[in-house]
Amino acid sequence: MKKEHTLLTDELEGKLDIVEIISGYLPLRRKGPGYEGVCPFHQDDGASLNIYPENQTWLCSGRCAVSRRLDKLAPANRGDATSFVARIEGISFGDAVRKLAVRCGLAPRNNRIDVGRGLIDSPGLRQTRKAMAAARKIPGLSGQTAPTLPYFPELEDPDLKTGHLAYKGRLARPGYLGASMYRRYATSAQPRPGLVIALHATLQGHCQIEYPDGERKILDSLGMHDAGDVIWTDSGQASAVIKDVITRAHSEVEVFGVSTRGFCLLNLPGVDELSWCWPREPLEAGGGSRPLYYQTGPSETDVGGILLESFSVEGKLLPQYLDISGVTVPVTPVERNGRSHKERLDQISG
Ligand SMILES: [Zn+2]
């Protein structure tokens, strides 16, 4: 891929030295061109952990690899410096990014105090956010699936832009879902939202998409829709209320990024991975729910489902969003309650 097509910069990654970072946690020995050590993620009586400085990655070839082979939802047995820090510290990937960005001098030392309102649009913070976005790659999104039945004609979105989030097809309302439907949604290969990192203007238009796990795919751009510009959020700047469609329990979760069309990047409950979740339909478009179903375990009957009930983000970051149904919804600045989109829309229209 040509460099000029790459919008995801490697600024943070370029500043990280995986050997230096990992040797801060455990002793490493030279082995060939790389290093080895005792894997901290399983009871390792050898030296299963390998560090490859040339591509800045780590790999456990011991029990972590076996677990991963047996269960694709087991924690990844390989990754980069950021994923290593997240796992060993028991913190979220976003917090690991922040920690490392601070360490490299790309982010202010005390995030919560320094990232005040006056700084939100500062060039330094924009740069920091860009660097964080570049490094925000989460392994293990493979189980993510979604009910996406096309209910609108699939037309190429002329607004498809590099740097924007894109999704394939229209996200339909599945109506009543029985067990067989859960299985179907959980096991079929459903398109998932990803960042457009390149547009190839050939006879047949193609776009290159990057998913949160770092996987990249070139897809026919016909039928790909623009899900909006992505705003990467810092800790505490955005949260979402999600509803478990099976237990009907509500919970508040951290949001790592939000698109101007209301997609939120968050951890799916019970799964150690990030996923872009879509909002409910606005009232004008029917007000229906658009649940996201995903696999939570090795069996195809291990299915989770959530609804993104509402999200709140600092108003300065996202003054309004255009719902994927085509309705523009103003966002109330800095409100962290559990109001649904429907309630918001009722208030706006009332
Ligand atoms: Zn291991």
Provide the residue ranges of all domains of the chain, joining segments of one domain with +.
3-135, 164-349
Cα dist from 237 to 82, 132, 138, 254, whole Å: 21, 14, 20, 9
The whole-number average pLDDT for the span 201-230 is: 77
Indicate whether 70 pLDDT > 80. Answer: yes
Ligand 1 center from residue 46 Cα (angstroms):
10
Distance 61 CA to ligand 1 centre (A): 7
DSSP characters over 279-330: BPPPGGGT-----EEEE-SSSTT-EEEEEEEEEEE-TTT-SEEE-TTS-EEE
**Mean pLDDT (whole number) for 126-139:** 42
Q: How far is the CA of 150 from the centre of ligand 1 (A)?
A: 42
User: pTM, whole model, 2 decimals?
Assistant: 0.49
Contact 40, 25 (CB under 8 A): yes
242-264 mean pLDDT = 88
In this predicted model, what pLDDT tens digit does every residue of 10-34 receive, in sequence order? 556 677 899 999 999 999 999 999 9
Between 318 and 62, where is the model more confident? Answer: 62
Q: How confident is the model at residue 58 (pLDDT cuts 50, 70, 90)?
A: very high
88 CA distance to ligand 1 middle (Å): 12
Structure tokens at 162: 């590099």
Range with the lowest mean pLDDT among 77-81, 101-105, 318-322, 334-338?
Answer: 334-338
Asked if pLDDT for residue 183 goes beyond 60, the answer is no
Give distance in angstroms: CA of 42 to centre of ligand 1.
5
pLDDT band, very low/low/confident/very high, at 344 (cuts 50, 70, 90)? low
Ligand 1 center–CA 298 separation, angstroms = 20
Taking the centre of ligand 1 as the mean of its atom positions, its distance from the CA of residue 16, in whole angstroms, is 22
Whole-number percent of the chain with pLDDT over 70:
60
- Which residues lie across from 198 on neighbouring strands? 208
Per-residue pLDDT band at 54 (split at 50, 70, 90): very high
How far is 180 from 72, CA to CA, in rounded Å? Answer: 22
Residue 43 Cα to ligand 1 midpoint, Å, equals 7
pLDDT(47) > 70: yes
Q: What is the mean pLDDT of residues 268-287?
A: 75
Q: Which of 41-45, 166-170, 223-227, 268-272 has the lowest mean pLDDT?
A: 166-170
* Confidence band for 332, pLDDT divided at 50, 70 and 90: low
Residue 178 pLDDT exceeds 70: no
pLDDT value at residue 96: 75
Give distance in angstroms: CA of 38 to centre of ligand 1: 8
**pLDDT band (50, 70, 90) for residue 300:** low
- The reported pLDDT for the residue numbered 13 is 67
Ligand 1 mean position to 17 CA, how many Å?
21
Tell me, what's the pLDDT at 109? 55
Distance, CA 203 to ligand 1 centroid (Å)?
47
- C-alpha span between 84 and 215 (Å, rounded): 18
Distance 324 CA to ligand 1 centre (A): 42
First to last CA, the chain: 50
Q: What is the pLDDT of residue 74?
A: 79
pLDDT at 111 over 70: no
CA of 227 relative to ligand 1 center, distance in Å: 38
Centroid of ligand 1 to alpha carbon of 65 (angstroms)? 7
Quick one: three-class SS letters along 222-240?
CCEEEEEEEEECCCCCEEE
**Ligand 1: centre distance to CA 76 (Å):** 10
**Cα separations (Å) of 85 from 80, 82, 139, 245, 320?**
9, 5, 13, 32, 35
Q: Choose among 209, 220, 342: nearest CA to 281.
A: 342
Separation of CA 53 and ligand 1 centre (Å): 18
Higher pLDDT, 121 or 16: 16
Task: Report pLDDT for 231.
Answer: 86
Work out whether the CA dihedral 38, 42, 43, 44 comes out positive or negative: negative
The number of helix segments (H) and strand segments (E) in the chain equals 9, 19
Q: What are the pLDDT digits (tens) for 133-166?
A: 443 333 332 223 222 222 222 334 456 787 888 8
Map tokens 């998932």 to a residue: 192
| Distance from Cα 83 to the centre of ligand 1, integer Å | 14
Residue with tokens 């959020």: 233
The confidence score (pLDDT) of residue 75 equals 84
Q: Determine the Cα–Cα distance for residues 31 and 38; give it in Å rounded to an integer.
A: 13
pLDDT value, residue 36: 96
CA of 213 to the centre of ligand 1 (A): 20
3-state secondary structure of 260: coil
CB distance 128 to 101 below 8 Å: yes
Look up the CATH architecture of domain 3-135: Alpha-Beta Complex (3.90)
Rounded to the nearest angstrom, the distance between the alpha carbon of 56 and the centre of ligand 1 is 17
Is residue 328 scored above 70 in pLDDT? Answer: no
Q: State the average pLDDT for the chain.
A: 70
User: What is the distance in A from the centroid of ligand 1 to the CA of 80?
Assistant: 14
